Amino acid sequence: MVKNDGTKYEREICEILNSSHKTDSWPTNFRNVKGDKGVDIISYYKDKPLIIQCKDLAKKVGINHVRELNGIMPYNSNLFRIMVSKRGYTKYALDFKKMNKNLILTDGKNIIQDIKKHYDNYKNKIEKKDARVHKKIKRLTETNKKLRQLISQLQNDQ
């Protein structure tokens, strides 16, 4: 019996990403090196770096594998961590994912649409945040203008 080292599944996922490269921005690098901290594939979607770990296990992926992936890079880093599994995820792994905004748990069939959906949600949040910041800046600018007018009036009254 041939032992499954996972590289076949990693290559399948890489091929899925590369086949989408024709319509989207998916430069993809397959990694098969020691000391890669579990990163199987490095890719990009638009301006967002993706680190991808593939799991071809006989059972669902548990929380320990997901925590490991999440801990690869600093929490505030500007990348999506993606785990791709053939067998799905345990309840605890899915619960952990809910608490981590840049973590995607998916399968080979849905990886493209899940990345796009996650990216769109990410961009929408940034745009909303930007809109709030611009609104605050506008209010502060107006307040500053009123204060300058008031100071000017007070100086003229003296």
pLDDT, residue 77, reads 67
Encode pLDDT of 106-137 as tens digits: 998 999 999 999 999 888 888 888 788 888 89
Give the count of domains, the chain: 1
**Burial category of 115 from C-beta neighbours within 10 Å (exposed 0-12, middle 13-18, buried 19 and up):** buried
pLDDT, residue 117, reads 93
Which residue range(s) make up the domain with 133?
Answer: 7-157
Q: Looking at residue 127, which CATH number applies to its domain?
A: 3.40.1350.10
Q: Is the pTM of this model over 0.95?
A: no
- Hey, which bits of the chain come out as E strands? 28-30, 41-45, 48-55, 80-85, 103-106
Query: Is 153 a domain residue?
Result: yes
Query: Is 45 a domain residue?
Result: yes
pLDDT, residue 79, reads 84
Spatial neighbors of 44 by CB under 8 A, at least 6 apart, are 25, 26, 27, 50
Spatial neighbors of 9 by CB under 8 A, at least 6 apart, are 54, 55, 56, 84, 86, 108
Query: Is 2 a domain residue?
Result: no
Exposed e or buried b per residue across 68-82, where buried means at least 16 C-beta atoms within 10 angstroms of its C-beta: ebbeebeeeeeebbb
pLDDT, residue 1, reads 44
Pairing of β 41-45 and β 28-30: antiparallel
The stretches in the chain having pLDDT less than 70 are 1-5, 21-37, 73-77
Query: Is 1 a domain residue?
Result: no
Query: Is 127 a domain residue?
Result: yes
**One-letter amino acid for residue 90 of the chain:** T
